[in-house]
Amino acid sequence: MIAIETERNWKPVIKEFEAVVGKNGVVQRREELLVYECDGLASYRQRPALVVLPRTTEEVAKVVKICDRNSIPWVARGAGTGLSGGALPVENCVLIVTALMRKILKVDLENQQVVVQPGVINNWVTQAVSGAGFYYAPDPSSQIVCSIGGNVAENSGGVHCLKYGVTTNHVLGLKLVLPDGSIVDVGGEIPEMPGYDLTGVFVGSEGTLGIATEVTLRILKAPESICVLLADFASIEAAGESVSDIISAGIIPGGMEIMDNISINAVEDVVATGCYPRDAAAILLIEIDGLEVEVATNKQRISEICKQNGARNITTAHDPETRMKIWKGRKAAFAAAGHLSPDYYVQDGVIPRTQMAFVLKEIEGLSEKYGYQIANVFHAGDGNLHPLILYDNSVEGALEKVEELGGEILKLCVKVGGSLSGEHGIGADKKCFMPDMFSEVDLETMQWVREVFNPKGLANPGKMFPTPKTCGEAARAKMETVNKLEGVELF
């Protein structure tokens, strides 16, 4: 990584940016920059030096090239709804915001594809094709505000990702601007592409390899029939057990979500769905989709499994209105938690489904140990937990304690064979935990890839990896590890 100037004369650089994006495309007034200080992870803040708003691939390439030539670090930002600080600015950086890149460039129903600019809102994709009976599957809770570019950077998930996969399973191709300003196409319009799968590497790379300026998305045919089943339980373990049993029976529903009593009541207080039983220890929400006959059969089988696990009540909804009402509660769960306490911290970890009962018990123990209430809302089918730690940031030292608690939860996930993140990414927030999950050699192999795309380290520096290393440092460290291994060998 090269030295980054802290005391810079920004005037000539601003002129260069303005020549590309126009005067209105550069935000430089201190008070206007305020809103760009953080993303959805509001506990970290850093004001960028400038915000630049390009409109096209070519403009992005020129902006990145100016940064490259002037050694200015830059961070790409979509809608800023990310929860791991992936779009958190760094000191004296340029924030490249895709808010003006909101065109749907192509809708190809015959080949089930849509090409969009990165600033397009997730939900707009479905809106653009739903009239013709299609939809875009990945559906983060923030889908009415989050952007496709951010979804690509973080490899976002959502309720429907149990059956249909996360963002990477729905991105066919990308037009990229790499950190040297070159424009590259990876992947394409058909799923089978020869060569290395660079589309796969880029999705989830959290802005460290470049910016996607066009995204080719796969859209799916909407199912013939959809039913939402709501089962309520006297214990969260019974809800978890039902999830395991459903999967073991070979049924893969569209989505399976668990909300605990705290979340249920928070949601009913705020959104008042009227559907969630306030006295349940947990509810299990299951979306069943497919052919009408298939939905009917699976509804029957799932209901039986829930009953066997002690479900108190099971209700089902077929009509769109009731289904929306049930899901609205789940999608508003994070926001509703905000009404329970002045602040909350969302954790995002993954565990093997088989460990669910054990991990939930442990989280309960940690909640007691630290003295913070934890609400549990999660993608149960994927084992993707979202513990919400409720706290008050105005209490001195609270954030530090909450972060420590969050860290303990993450380490627990990794310990049982899970992952540091299901869908929110590593960003600025979790990079220090990467060594808990990956060996030194594993991490350095990833960093080789970063160095090759981003050799100067200007693209989203300080994210994802615990200690950003230069190419030379990473190579040396790796050789040391190799040599260490070699020590136990024959020769």
Considering only residues 240 to 259 of the shown chain, the ones binding a second copy according to CB under 8 A are 248, 250
The region of 74-82, 294-302, 319-327, 360-368 touching a second copy under the rule CB under 8 A is 294-302
Residue 320 beta carbon to a second copy: minimum distance, rounded to whole angstroms:
18
Question: Which residues inside 331-360 make contact with a second copy, applying CB under 8 A?
Answer: 350-354
From candidates 241, 260, 289, 423, binder to a second copy by CB under 8 A:
423
Characterize the bridge pairing of strands 349-350 and 384-385: antiparallel
- Alpha-carbon span 271 to 482, nearest angstrom: 56
Q: Does 441 bind a second copy (CB under 8 A)?
A: yes
Residue 181 beta carbon to a second copy: minimum distance, rounded to whole angstroms:
6
Question: Which residues inside 166-185 make contact with a second copy, applying CB under 8 A?
Answer: 166, 168-169, 178, 180-185
Question: Which residues inside 139-158 make contact with a second copy, applying CB under 8 A?
Answer: 157
Question: In the complex with a second copy, which residue's Cβ is closer, 218 or 330?
Answer: 218
Question: In the complex with a second copy, which residue's Cβ is closer, 271 or 380?
Answer: 380
Residue 294 beta carbon to a second copy: minimum distance, rounded to whole angstroms:
4
- Is the Cβ–Cβ distance between 178 and 453 less than 8 Å? yes
Question: Which residues inside 8-47 make contact with a second copy, applying CB under 8 A?
Answer: 16, 19-20
- Alpha-carbon span 366 to 352, nearest angstrom: 19
Question: Which residues inside 82-101 make contact with a second copy, applying CB under 8 A?
Answer: none
- In whole angstroms, how far apart are CA 19 and each of 29, 50, 288, 393, 451? 18, 15, 53, 43, 30
- Is the Cβ–Cβ distance between 121 and 146 less than 8 Å? yes
From candidates 14, 42, 107, 201, binder to a second copy by CB under 8 A:
201
What does the DSSP assignment read for 139-177?
--TTTTT-BHHHHHHHT---TTHHHH--GGGTEEEEEEE
Residue 271 beta carbon to a second copy: minimum distance, rounded to whole angstroms:
28
Residue 192 beta carbon to a second copy: minimum distance, rounded to whole angstroms:
5
- Alpha-carbon span 19 to 58, nearest angstrom: 13
Q: Does 213 bind a second copy (CB under 8 A)?
A: no
Residue 374 beta carbon to a second copy: minimum distance, rounded to whole angstroms:
21
- Is the Cβ–Cβ distance between 4 and 10 less than 8 Å? no
Q: Does 324 bind a second copy (CB under 8 A)?
A: no
Question: In the complex with a second copy, which residue's Cβ is closer, 119 or 422?
Answer: 422
- Alpha-carbon span 249 to 137, nearest angstrom: 24
From candidates 57, 151, 265, 421, binder to a second copy by CB under 8 A:
421
Question: Which residues inside 302-321 make contact with a second copy, applying CB under 8 A?
Answer: none
From candidates 2, 105, 272, 452, binder to a second copy by CB under 8 A:
452
Question: In the complex with a second copy, which residue's Cβ is closer, 78 or 204?
Answer: 204
Q: Does 131 bind a second copy (CB under 8 A)?
A: no
- Alpha-carbon span 80 to 68, nearest angstrom: 24
Residue 325 beta carbon to a second copy: minimum distance, rounded to whole angstroms:
26
DSSP state, residue 271:
T
- The two tokens of residue 179 are 């950190």
CB atoms within 10 A of CB 285: 23
Question: In the complex with a second copy, which residue's Cβ is closer, 292 or 392?
Answer: 292
Beta carbons within 8 Å of 145's beta carbon, 6+ residues apart: 79, 81, 121
- The two tokens of residue 197 are 């799968």
- Is the Cβ–Cβ distance between 389 and 344 less than 8 Å? yes
From candidates 45, 105, 144, 221, binder to a second copy by CB under 8 A:
221
- Alpha-carbon span 238 to 311, nearest angstrom: 8
Q: Which of 461, 477, 472, 236 is nearest to 364 (CA)?
A: 236
Question: Which residues inside 107-126 make contact with a second copy, applying CB under 8 A?
Answer: 110-111
Question: In the complex with a second copy, which residue's Cβ is closer, 30 or 491?
Answer: 491
Q: Which amino acid is at 29?
A: R
Beta carbons within 8 Å of 447's beta carbon, 6+ residues apart: 465, 468, 469, 474
Site string for a second copy, 367-386 (x = CB under 8 A): ---------------xxx--
The region of 29-37, 92-100, 197-205, 334-342 touching a second copy under the rule CB under 8 A is 197-205
